[in-house]
């Protein structure tokens, strides 16, 4: 048996040293997500709102508030002071109407967001009215108001999700 001796060249200068090849590492492509990207609900409040959604929100608010006021009975005790929370909710409701009107005139989606917030305030007022004793009890008027508020919230939510 013979031993083969292979001579290796001696390198004294760094510039003439052989450069080892750098292995190429390829990253795997990210897997495509089959689901469409989730749109954040309040991410694009400055985005456009169609004229038909703006008109629908304005008409719905006028109808729901007018019908709600028309069917509401007289207070059980008209001389009792109005609770502070009712005044705050009413003031907040009017502020959301202002924001909603500005958004409708500018045709921006924040009008629908203001409508959702205002609808939640109107829902709180509708629930609190008989619960606080302002009216004698719950009757058909309360059901009409609740149906109107829930419909208004549903319409506002749809308008907010529209593109």
pLDDT of 141 above 90: no
pLDDT of residue 80: 78
pLDDT of 39 above 90: no
Conformational region of residue 126, where left means phi above 0, alpha means psi within -120 to 50, and beta covers everything else: alpha
Per-residue pLDDT, averaged over 34-46, amounts to 65
pLDDT tens for 64-92 read 999 998 988 888 777 878 788 888 999 99
Domain boundaries, the chain: 53-69+80-161
CA dihedral 136, 129, 151, 38 (to 10 degrees): -150
22: its two tokens? 């750098």
C-alpha 94/C-alpha 99 separation (Å) is: 9
pLDDT of residue 115: 93
Helices (H) and strands (E) in the chain, counts: 4, 0
C-alpha 148/C-alpha 43 separation (Å) is: 28
pLDDT of residue 162: 81
């Amino acid at each position: 048996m013979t031993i083969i001796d292979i001579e290796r060249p001696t390198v004294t200068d760094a510039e003439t040293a052989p450069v080892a090849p750098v292995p190429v590492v390829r990253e795997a492509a990210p897997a495509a997500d089959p689901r469409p990207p989730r749109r954040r609900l309040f991410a694009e409040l400055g985005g456009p709102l169609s004229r038909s959604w703006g008109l629908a929100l304005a008409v719905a608010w006028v109808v729901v508030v007018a019908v709600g006021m028309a069917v509401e009975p007289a207070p059980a005790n008209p001389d009792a002071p109005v609770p502070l929370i009712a005044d705050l909710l009413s003031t907040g409701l009017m502020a959301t109407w202002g924001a909603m009107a500005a958004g409708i005139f500018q045709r921006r989606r924040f009008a629908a967001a203001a409508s959702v917030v205002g609808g939640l305030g109107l829902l709180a007022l509708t629930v609190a009215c008989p619960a606080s004793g302002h009216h004698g009890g719950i009757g058909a008027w309360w059901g009409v108001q609740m149906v109107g508020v829930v419909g208004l919230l549903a319409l506002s939510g749809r308008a907010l999700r529209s593109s």
